[in-house]
């Protein structure tokens, strides 16, 4: 089973998070491991999202079963983060 990581815990990341349970293959082919984000360390107790933030794209150690979906809206930030992950 693959470990899905959403890259970006902003508004679009949370929107994608809300769709995950309805996705084909959820908890059969992949499970949600968490988010990568540089600005947010925790969603807090009052937030609906109970998935952890694993760290930043730069500090995260990629594991063999990890797969990523980039949920960053800003094109220049998206390019930089995706290139960082791809290079590793």
Question: How far is residue 16's CA from residue 12's CA, in Å, rounded to a whole number?
Answer: 6
Give the single-character DSSP code of 52.
P
pTM: 0.87
pLDDT band of residue 47 (cuts 50, 70, 90) is low
Question: How far is residue 71's CA from residue 5's CA, in Å, rounded to a whole number?
Answer: 10
> What digits encode the pLDDT tens for the residues 23-38?
999 999 999 999 999 8
Give the single-character DSSP code of 53.
B
CA contacts within 13 A on the Cβ side of 22: 5
pLDDT band of residue 81 (cuts 50, 70, 90) is very high
């Amino acid at each position: 089973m693959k470990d899905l990581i959403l890259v970006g815990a902003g508004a679009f990341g949370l929107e994608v998070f809300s769709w995950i349970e309805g996705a084909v293959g959820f908890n059969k082919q992949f499970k949600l491991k968490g988010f990568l984000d540089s600005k947010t360390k925790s969603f807090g107790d009052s937030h609906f999202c109970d998935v952890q933030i694993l760290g930043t794209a730069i500090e995260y150690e990629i594991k063999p079963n990890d797969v990523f979906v980039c949920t960053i809206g800003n094109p220049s930030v998206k390019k930089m983060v995706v290139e960082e992950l791809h290079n590793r």
